[in-house]
Amino acid sequence: MKDFQCPRNLYKLTKNYFSETSAFISTNSMRIDTTVNKVCPQGSRCGQGYWKIQYNSLLNLNFAKWTRAIAFFDDLLIVVKAVTVAEMENYKNMEMSKITKWSIIIINIKDWTL
């Protein structure tokens, strides 16, 4: 959201939206409640918007000229152009390394302050 220069009040609202989240499961005889540390807003009214913001940062990674990233909903396709299979595997591994680093950063975001 910082990349989009989101107003501070919306940024704080988003921080609150993702904090103190809980989940539960219940049966006829019991209920189990737990605190959720990693939040995916899937199915919520705001979820699609937040997903687009997050996914946009993935699609804007500095992929090489031989690579195309194609997104469809929550799926990602990485297309690599190469002459040989070995070359393709090398290029693919380079791009997957970028995606892995991106995912670690996204998962480990702790500081939601401006």
Residue 3 counted as domain residue: no
Q: Is the pLDDT of residue 92 over 80?
A: yes
Q: Is residue 60 classed as helix, strand or coil in its secondary structure?
A: coil
103 vs 4, more confident: 103
Q: Is residue 64 part of a domain?
A: yes
Domain assignment present for 2: no
Q: Is the dihedral of CA 103, 53, 36, 74 positive or negative?
A: negative
Tokens for 113, please give them. 């302050």
- Give me the domain span that covers residue 46: 8-107
Share of the chain above pLDDT 70, in %: 72
Q: What is the pTM of this model?
A: 0.59
> Domain count of the chain?
1
Could you identify the residue written with the tokens 């959201």?
1
Asked whether residue 32 is domain-assigned, the answer is yes
Asked whether residue 93 is assigned to any structural domain, the reply reads yes
Does a structural domain hold residue 43? yes
Q: How confident is the model at residue 76 (pLDDT cuts 50, 70, 90)?
A: confident
